[in-house]
Amino acid sequence: MDRYERLRLTFGAEFGAEPEVIARAPGRVNLIGEHTDYNDGFVLPVAIDRDIRVAARRRPDRTVRLLAADFGRRSAFSLDDIRHDPAERWSHYERGVALMLQRAGYRLGGFEAAIEGEVPTGAGLSSSAAVEVATGTGLKALFGLDIGPVQLALLCQKAENEFVGVNSGIMDQFISVFGKRGHALFLDCRSLETKQVPVQRSAVGDRRSESESGDGVQIVVADTSVKRGLVDSQYNQRRLECEEAVRRLSQWLPGVTALRDVTYEQFQRYAGHLPEVVRRRARHVITEDERVLASVEALAGGDLVTFGRLMDESHTSLRDDYEVSIPQLDVMVEAARAVPGVLGSRMTGAGFGGCTVSLVRAEAVAQFRRQVPEQYRARTALEATIYVCQAADGAGVVAGPCDPARLFKGVSCPAGDTS
């Protein structure tokens, strides 16, 4: 029994009817460009082949009933009175999306939804954005909402910022909507301009052998088993420190509204005027933006060695200047780099726990899966979970109005095409 059929049966057992729509949205791993998104900078994430799925059907009233199928938890609320539920905080993502859609003028009716997924929570793979985007994609199809993919991503971000209470940037929701198989997404977080960058050419129809193409690589995510919650972490504090850097630098650099506007040469000129902590935070963001731009150029030229070196430099900066790494993440990175065939490795996500991401030559993946967990266990007494990922497509409707003949067959249509 595949996941679609299992979710359909779970929905039926809970709500006594068939779902009208099943939507999906992927998690993500950011290859490089960490903590740059809320500084109007550049990021380079990929959508991964692990997703959140939402099965839903309409109700004749204004009530919403939710089932978290993986945990057997339930929550209900009225669309006319959407507020927090301290006992069922998992439901805040769905509640927030419904609230922001209505605030934006979209008409919703009551609905029932069952949510299940395979994106690990608290691991830094953006399960929260996947829930938001899957919910928004499902509601778009369910109620025939005329909403474009960019606006969908922005409203899901608003749900996380204004309802859940996490000041995340736009990257997570954007890659969950716009992911493309075999590609990373270069995103300018200020203009929202994007560029698809091939990162696994063998996954997008390149007929050359892996050795000929130079792209016989896998994206390998290693979970430290150290959970972290953004709301309770120092994420918001880092954002305030970046804003302080902008405020101080703008005294000498008129027109600067975000760290994205500051070149490294300008930073060096005025860094001495910044408090030490603020100076280090700004240095990370400014140099990380430069690393993202250099990474896009390296990938375009097939230079995976340079790209791997930039990943390594990113981790050092996150550890020393931004101070969002922890010993377990550092141990995982060190263990990964000890495997021949690992081109680069770094922590990924907001930090304070979660995962690392490594670019690994295909022939080295088996050794990575054996050696890295062994070394990590020996040094931390914790178990690592390894995910070998493919760069996957973004959100879509799996079953519903986009193609009724394909109900529950596991075939997705794009988030922007649900008519």
Three-point CA angle 312, 314, 319, nearest 5°: 100
pLDDT for 217-228, tens place per residue? Answer: 999 999 999 987
Q: List all residues 6 or more positions away from 176 whose beta carbon is below 8 Å from its beta carbon.
A: 25, 26, 27, 28, 47, 126, 129, 130, 132, 133, 153, 156, 394, 395
pTM (2 d.p.): 0.87
At 231 the pLDDT is 43
* C-alpha–C-alpha distance, residues 72 and 200, integer Å: 37
Instruction: Judge whether 255 lies within some domain.
Output: no
Report the CATH number that the domain containing residue 349 is assigned in CATH: 3.30.70.890
Radius of gyration of the chain (CA): 21
241 lies in a domain? no
Task: Examine residue 419 and state whether it is found in any structural domain, yes or no.
Answer: no
- Residues 166 and 291 grouped into a single domain: no
- 37 is known as an active-site residue: no
Exposure b/e, 307-335, CB count within 10 A at least 16 = b? bbbbbbbbbebbbebbbbbbebbbbbbbb
- State the total domains in the chain: 2
User: Residue 247: which residues within 8 A CB-CB, separation 6 or more?
Assistant: none
Residues 397 and 350 in one domain: no
The two counts, helices (H) then strands (E), for the chain are: 12, 13
Domain extent at residue 49: 3-195+392-414
Same domain, 73 and 104: yes
**Mean of pLDDT values over 52-81:** 97
Query: What is the C-alpha separation between 4 and 23, in angstroms, rounded?
Result: 10
Whether 355 and 222 have beta carbons less than 8 Å apart is answered as yes
Comparing CA positions, the residue from 136, 130, 147 lying closest to residue 111 is 136
What's the CATH number where 404 sits?
A: 3.30.230.10
**Domain shared by 20 and 103, yes or no:** yes
For residues 181 and 228, membership in a common domain is answered with: no
Residues in the chain: 419
**Bridge partners, 222 (sequence order):** 356, 386
* 165-179, 337-351, 398-412: the lowest-pLDDT one: 398-412
Could you tell me if residue 272 is inside a domain?
A: no
Tell me: do 334 and 379 sit in the same domain: yes
Considering the domain architecture, whether residues 130 and 213 belong to the same structural domain is answered as no
Give the span between the Cα atoms of 88 and 75, in whole angstroms: 7
Tens-digit pLDDT profile for residues 97-148: 999 999 999 999 999 999 999 998 877 788 999 999 999 999 999 999 999 9
Q: In terms of domains, do 81 and 41 share one? A: yes
Give dist(CA 324, CA 315) in Å, integer.
Answer: 10
**Residue 118 falls within a domain, yes or no?**
yes
pLDDT number for residue 230: 52
Q: Are residues 347 and 360 in the same domain?
A: yes
User: Do residues 68 and 110 both lie within one domain?
Assistant: yes
- Set 37, 49, 51, 172: catalytic member: 172
Which CA distances in Å does 140 have to 54, 95, 147, 276, 404? 12, 15, 7, 47, 16
Same domain, 168 and 26: yes
Q: Does some domain include residue 264?
A: no
